[in-house]
């Protein structure tokens, strides 16, 4: 080192070193900030509500487990829970049969609501009041209110008795909730109203489908306001009546003054179908709208755990749309996001992706929402694809919770699996059995080697099923009651186990009893009859 410089440095005190260091750090920070932000604006998704949907229909976790989840959810930015009770609410009086035999008790629910209140998490009850009323209308005593006599899905909105039934349901839920904490919002369902304006009572009104739909919404909203004047009403925006076929703004002009305090939630769970044009059309009519993604239960009715990539893309598409969204008016707002987590596709469908297996998907997407709410550089969104956004902003926090086996080919979270269970592939097994059975029925014979291979392959799956069951039972007992676990195992394993077992027994018998066949005949096939 140059002697003069050494002399100069020796003259500088330690304090001065520290001062110079601070100045240098500051300059580097400035440079880093400039590079890091590439000169772009920080943009934010400005929403008040981050709401997680607990779909309790036929797959209710124990409330103690859900209570334990609350602080975690709070930590990741959740400030409200959408409780879709279906048959898990403890209805009373003439509604007692609406409740499942294992419905939550009022004491359990009170404890849950108090815990949520303590954590400042708002609970929004969801009560179906139009479509998906199977749990009500399947019962003999309420079947008279069906829109179609053979279908328990939709209630007829044109019978006074239907509105009385809805009032009674809402009254019990609202009274219970308000006793613990006054509810700001209630959700009245109203999605997938497949059968509408079909019964003689509705047809007599001589209204269009969307008029029937919105008049019912307004009637139900008025019931809510009567029971709880300060409560606002959410509903699933129904595509058929609000987005596809009609100009909603014009069509609802006559009802405009009656739509106050109604807030639609636009839901779309497939990434590429997300389009803020629908929000725009909603905003032409409603001042506050919401949007809904799915963290589980949206890809396959047979799903065991969510396709985490699809779920991530669903969220990132929505957040990007909201970020660049320009509403039609100044005084409107996108109020919140609902992360739906479907447990069954309907009351009569089987249990799909269970909540404990879906937690990585939920946490990942909550981290993503947090990032977009806190602010992200606009340029990053143009520069980075979804995987790079994950790698750069989310991976570190996500892997603190869920260690992953990074492939570096795709986003590394793709391989996350809580249980690491390999469910048996009964579907392909049954398909092969059916193919071979058909061949046999037509030709009285099939390739015996195929049959032997299928028996072996199916036996492997049956053994696999037993292993998975043994692992699942203790694993799930932490989260679900025995009745729910048994039901899940029956739907996903035992039912197929019996079917596959019967199929291969039949094949073994056929192989064992095979003797001989006559020379090939080109006559009519044995099972096909021509005329008499």
Phi, psi (5° rounding) for residue 329?
A: -135, 165
DSSP letters spanning 58-112: T-PBPHHHHHHHHHHHHHTT--EEEEE-GGGS---GGGGGGS-TTPPPHHHHHHH
Cβ neighbours of 184 (radius 10 Å)? 14
Cβ neighbours of 404 (radius 10 Å)? 16
Distance of CA 106 to the CA centre of its chain: 26
Q: Pick out residues in 87-116 that bind Zn ion (CB under 5 A).
A: none
SS (H, E, C) 144-212: HHEEECCEEEEECCCCHHHHHHHHHHHHHHHHHHHHHCCCCEEECCCCCCCCCCCCHHHHHCCCCHHHH
Structure tokens at 277: 């044009």
Nearer to Zn ion, 37 or 219 (CB): 219
In sequence order, the 6+-apart residues with CB closer than 8 A to the CB of 355 are 54, 59, 61, 296, 341, 343, 479
How does strand 376-377 pair with strand 42-43?
A: antiparallel
Tell me the window of 42-50, 114-122, 202-210, 283-291 that interacts with Zn ion (CB under 5 A): 202-210
- With CB under 5 A as the contact rule, the residue among 51, 158, 276, 321 that binds Zn ion is 158
Tell me the window of 2-10, 151-159, 409-417, 430-438 that interacts with Zn ion (CB under 5 A): 151-159
**Residues known to be catalytic:** 192
Nearer to Zn ion, 133 or 183 (CB): 133
Nearer to Zn ion, 125 or 153 (CB): 153
Q: How far apart are CA 500 and CA 457, in angstroms?
A: 11
In angstroms, what is the minimal distance from the CB of 219 to Zn ion? 13
Nearer to Zn ion, 147 or 266 (CB): 147
Nearer to Zn ion, 202 or 504 (CB): 202
Q: Pick out residues in 181-200 that bind Zn ion (CB under 5 A).
A: 199
Cβ neighbours of 101 (radius 10 Å)? 6
Tell me the window of 152-160, 162-170, 278-286, 393-401 that interacts with Zn ion (CB under 5 A): 152-160
- Decide if residue 202 touches Zn ion (CB under 5 A): yes
- Decide if residue 459 touches Zn ion (CB under 5 A): no
Q: How far apart are CA 294 and CA 345, in angstroms?
A: 13
Whole-angstrom CA distances from 94 to 131, 136, 433, 514, 522 are 21, 12, 48, 62, 67
Nearer to Zn ion, 158 or 446 (CB): 158
In angstroms, what is the minimal distance from the CB of 202 to Zn ion? 3
Nearer to Zn ion, 158 or 237 (CB): 158
CA angle (107, 481, 53) in 5-degree steps = 70
Tell me the window of 33-41, 117-125, 140-148, 290-298 that interacts with Zn ion (CB under 5 A): 140-148
- Decide if residue 165 touches Zn ion (CB under 5 A): no
Q: How far apart are CA 370 and CA 378, in angstroms?
A: 16
In angstroms, what is the minimal distance from the CB of 345 to Zn ion? 24
In angstroms, what is the minimal distance from the CB of 196 to Zn ion? 8
The partner residues of 264 in beta bridges, in order of sequence, read: 235
- With CB under 5 A as the contact rule, the residue among 97, 178, 201, 222 that binds Zn ion is 201
Q: Nearest-CA neighbor of 337 among 347, 329, 325?
A: 325
In angstroms, what is the minimal distance from the CB of 192 to Zn ion? 16
In angstroms, what is the minimal distance from the CB of 158 to Zn ion? 4
Residue 394, SS3 per DSSP: helix
Tell me the window of 156-164, 376-384, 437-445, 486-494 that interacts with Zn ion (CB under 5 A): 156-164
Tell me the window of 30-38, 150-158, 187-195, 219-227 that interacts with Zn ion (CB under 5 A): 150-158
Nearer to Zn ion, 158 or 343 (CB): 158
In angstroms, what is the minimal distance from the CB of 164 to Zn ion? 15
- With CB under 5 A as the contact rule, the residue among 63, 98, 124, 156 that binds Zn ion is 156
Give the footprint of Zn ion on this chain (CB under 5 A): 147, 156, 158, 199, 201-202
């Amino acid at each position: 080192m140059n002697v003069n410089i050494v002399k100069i440095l020796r003259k500088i005190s330690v304090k001065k070193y520290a001062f110079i260091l601070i100045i240098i750090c500051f300059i580097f920070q400035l440079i880093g900030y400039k590079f890091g932000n590439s000169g772009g604006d920080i943009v934010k998704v400005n929403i008040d509500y981050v709401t997680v949907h607990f779909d309790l229909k036929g797959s209710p976790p124990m409330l103690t487990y859900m209570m334990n989840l609350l602080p975690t959810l709070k930590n990741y930015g959740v400030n409200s829970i959408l409780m879709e009770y279906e048959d898990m609410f403890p209805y009373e009086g003439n509604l007692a049969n609406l409740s499942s035999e294992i419905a939550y008790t009022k004491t359990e629910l009170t404890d849950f609501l108090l815990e949520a209140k303590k954590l400042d998490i708002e609970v929004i009850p969801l009560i179906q009041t139009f479509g998906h009323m199977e749990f009500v209308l399947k019962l003999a005593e309420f079947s008279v209110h069906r829109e179609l006599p053979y279908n328990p899905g939709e209630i007829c909105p044109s019978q006074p008795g239907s509105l009385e039934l809805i009032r009674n349901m809402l009254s019990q839920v609202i009274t219970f909730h308000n006793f613990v904490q006054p509810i700001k919002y209630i959700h009245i369902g109203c999605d997938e109203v497949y059968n509408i304006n079909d019964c003689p009572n509705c047809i007599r009104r001589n209204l269009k489908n969307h008029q029937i739909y919105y008049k019912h919404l307004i009637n139900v909203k008025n019931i809510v306001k009567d029971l709880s004047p300060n409560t606002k009403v959410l509903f699933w925006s129904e595509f058929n009546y609000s987005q596809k076929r009609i100009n909603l703004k014009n069509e609802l002009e006559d009802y405009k003054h009656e739509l106050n305090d109604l807030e639609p939630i636009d839901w779309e769970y497939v990434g590429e179908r997300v389009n803020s044009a629908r929000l725009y059309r909603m905003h032409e009519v409603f001042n506050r709208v919401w949007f809904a993604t799915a963290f589980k239960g949206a890809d396959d009715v047979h799903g065991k755990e969510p396709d985490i990539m699809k779920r991530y893309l669903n969220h990132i598409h929505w957040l990007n749309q909201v970020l660049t969204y320009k509403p039609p008016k100044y005084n409107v707002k996108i109020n919140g996001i609902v992360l739906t987590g479907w447990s069954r596709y309907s009351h009569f469908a089987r249990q799909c992706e269970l909540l404990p297996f879906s937690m990585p998907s939920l946490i990942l997407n909550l981290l993503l929402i947090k990032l977009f709410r806190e602010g992200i550089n606009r340029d990053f969104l143009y520069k980075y694809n979804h995987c790079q956004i994950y790698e750069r902003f989310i991976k570190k926090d996500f892997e603190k919770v869920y260690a992953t086996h990074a492939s570096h080919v795709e986003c590394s979270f793709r391989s996350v699996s809580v249980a690491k269970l390999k469910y048996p592939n009964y579907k392909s097994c049954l398909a092969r059995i059916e193919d071979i059975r058909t061949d046999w029925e037509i030709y009285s014979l099939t390739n015996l080697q195929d049959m032997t291979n299928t028996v072996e392959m199916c036996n492997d799956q049956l053994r696999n099923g037993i292993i998975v069951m043994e692992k699942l039972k203790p694993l799930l007992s932490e989260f679900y009651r025995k009745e729910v676990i048994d039901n899940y195992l029956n739907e996903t394993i035992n039912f197929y186990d019996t079917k596959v077992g019967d199929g291969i027994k039949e094949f073994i018998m056929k192989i064992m009893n095979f003797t001989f066949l006559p020379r090939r005949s080109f006559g009519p096939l044995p099972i096909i009859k021509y005329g008499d």
